[in-house]
Amino acid sequence: MPVHGLTRRRFLQSSAAFAALSALPACSLVSASRDNGMWEYHLSAEPSTASLVPGHQTDVLAFNGKIPAPTIRCRQGEPVTIHFTNNLNEPTTIHWHGLRIPIEMDGVPFLSQPPIQPGETFTYRFTPPDAGTFWYHPHMNSVVQLGKGLVGTIVVEEASPVAFDEEHVLMLKHWHLDPQGKWKDLAIPRYSARMGTPGEWGTVNGVHQPKYELQEKATTRLRLANVDNTLTYPIQVRGADAWIVAIDGNPIATPRRLEEHKIAPGMRLDIGLVAPKAGTNVEIMYMKGRFPFLLASFTTTPSTLVEKPLPALPLNPVATPDLANAETRHFVFEWAGAITPADKQGKGKHEFWLMNKRAWEGMSKGNIPDPIATLERGKTYIFDLKNVTQYHHPIHLHGHTFTVLEMDGKPVTPFHTDTVLLGKNGHAKAAFVADNPGRWMYHCHVIEHMKTGLMGFVEVV
C-alpha cells in the first residue's frame, strides 16, 4: 500500500496498513497523513538498540527508534510538514539531502537554523520541486550521529505518479562493529587523513545480505542510497538486464545499461529492470576489486503479470545553465599534510583537508566564517573541481543541482546531480544557476573529510 493513499491523522490507527507498509524494505513509519494535498509526518531521534549482527544487540541512534529509519514519502509540488523531536542527549538538526528547498529548512546548525536542543521539537515545512530518491540525516556531530544510525530515505513521487509494478528502497551502510555487535572506533585519525575509517559490517536496510522476493515480469525500480560515512560502492546487478534511470534523484534523459556505477557517500542510484523468469536470483553486488561482495538479492516468484517496457521518468525542472554567460569558479581539494594544530588546552585539532588552501574553521552562534564564494542570484556558474589527492571526494552542494559537463577532461552527456564524485586526481566541471538565495554548505561527503577541513559554504545573494 503506498503511503500517499493514507487519509487518517495517525498512521498506527490502521494496523492493516501498517503491516502492509512495514513489510517493505526500509519502511517503518510511526505516523503519517495526506489530507488536502498536504503530507504530514512525525519523526524523532533517540537512543535505541538494534540487532545488526545476528544474535547480538547494539546500542544505536535511530529515527523513531528503528533501524532502518522510516522512509518518508511525499509528492513533487505538494507541501510537506515534518514535526521533528530531538530525544537525544545532545543538539541535532535534520538536513534533507538533495532537496532544493528554502534555506530555513536546510538543517545546518547556525547557518540556516539554531540547533534543536534535547527535548525540543522543530517543524520542517517545504514543497519539493523535484521528484526522486533523496535522504535525510543530521548535520551535527556527524561522525557519531550518522555513524550510529541517524540516516533515512525520503522518496518524492512524480507529480503524475509513474507506475512500476514493484519498487524497493535499499539503504547501503557499513557499520563500525566487531563480530559481537560492539562499537569500534568511528574515526581513526590516520584513516581520516586518507580514505576515511571504513566500517566492517555491511548492511542493506540494516540487514546483512538481505533476501527479498520479486514477481517475475515485474517492472521494477530499485532506489539505492549510499548513507555510509566513508565507503564508495561500485554497483553491479547480476541475473537481470539493469538500466540506470536516475542519478542522485534526477532522471536521465535516456536510460543507459548498467555495467558498473560508483555511488559514493551521499549519492543515490535508481535502477530499472524487468524481473526475469521465476526462480532466478537477481543480485546487487559491491564490486570491490577482484572480490565482489553481495549486498542484497531478490528471488523471482511466479506471477500473472504481462511483460512490458519500463516506464519513462519525466525530467526534473532544473534551470538550464546559461553557459555562454557563465562565470567559472575554481576549487582545489587537497591534503594539508601531517601537522596537527592544537587548541588552547593542547588537544589535537585535526585539519587534514583543504578547499582552496583553507580548512573549515567551524562555526557557532555569532561566529560564522566567511563564505568560500559569494554568488549573484540568477547567474550561471561553472564550478571547476580539482582533486589533487589519491582519495575519492564526493563534493556535495546544498540547495542547488549541478549539471555535470565534463569528467576528467572529457565532455559527458550532461546530467543532473547534487554530489559530484572526484576520483584519484579527478577533475570535473559542473554548472548551475544560483537561483536559491541563502548560505549553502559545500563539502566532501566522506564525513571524516568534512569534519577535518573539507567543508565551506557558498552564499547566494
Arithmetic mean of pLDDT, 55-83: 96
Asked whether the predicted pLDDT for residue 3 surpasses 50, the reply is no
Angle 349-185-43 from CA coordinates, rounded to 5°: 95
Asked whether the predicted pLDDT for residue 20 surpasses 70, the reply is no
Residue pair 452/193 in contact (Cβ under 8 Å)? The answer is yes
Q: What percent of the chain has pLDDT over 90?
A: 85
Quote the pLDDT of residue 290.
Answer: 80
Quote the pLDDT of residue 341.
Answer: 57
Q: Is 371 exposed, middle or buried (0-12, 13-18, 19+ CB in 10 A)?
A: middle
Q: Is 109 exposed, middle or buried (0-12, 13-18, 19+ CB in 10 A)?
A: buried
Quote the pLDDT of residue 366.
Answer: 87
Arithmetic mean of pLDDT, 143-171: 97
Could you tell me the three cell numbers for 96? Answer: 534533507
Asked whether the predicted pLDDT for residue 10 surpasses 70, the reply is no
Query: Which of 24-33, 88-97, 270-279 has the lowest average pLDDT?
Result: 24-33
Contacts for 24 with CB less than 8 Å, ≥ 6 apart: 71, 168, 169
Q: What percent of the chain has pLDDT over 70?
A: 89
Task: Tell me the pLDDT band of 36, cut-offs 50, 70 and 90.
Answer: low
Quote the pLDDT of residue 34.
Answer: 64
Arithmetic mean of pLDDT, 148-177: 97
Residue pair 110/101 in contact (Cβ under 8 Å)? The answer is no
Task: Tell me the pLDDT band of 5, cut-offs 50, 70 and 90.
Answer: very low
Whether the ω angle into residue 68 lies within 30 degrees of 0, i.e. cis, is yes
Report which of 438, 374, 436 is spatially closest to residue 401, judged by C-alpha positions. 436
Asked whether the predicted pLDDT for residue 179 surpasses 50, the reply is yes
Arithmetic mean of pLDDT, 445-458: 96
Quote the pLDDT of residue 291.
Answer: 82
Asked whether the predicted pLDDT for residue 15 surpasses 60, the reply is no
Which residue segments constitute the domains of the chain, with CATH numbers given? 3-157 (2.60.40.420), 166-301 (2.60.40.420), 323-460 (2.60.40.420)
Q: Tens digit of pLDDT for each residue in 287-345?
A: 987 889 999 999 999 999 999 999 999 999 999 999 999 999 999 999 886 555 556 66
Quote the pLDDT of residue 32.
Answer: 56
Task: Tell me the pLDDT band of 25, cut-offs 50, 70 and 90.
Answer: very low
The pTM score is 0.90
Q: Tens digit of pLDDT for each residue in 189-222?
A: 989 989 999 999 999 999 999 999 999 999 999 9
Task: Tell me the pLDDT band of 38, cut-offs 50, 70 and 90.
Answer: confident
| Arithmetic mean of pLDDT over the chain | 91
- Beta-bridged to residue 242, according to DSSP, are 273
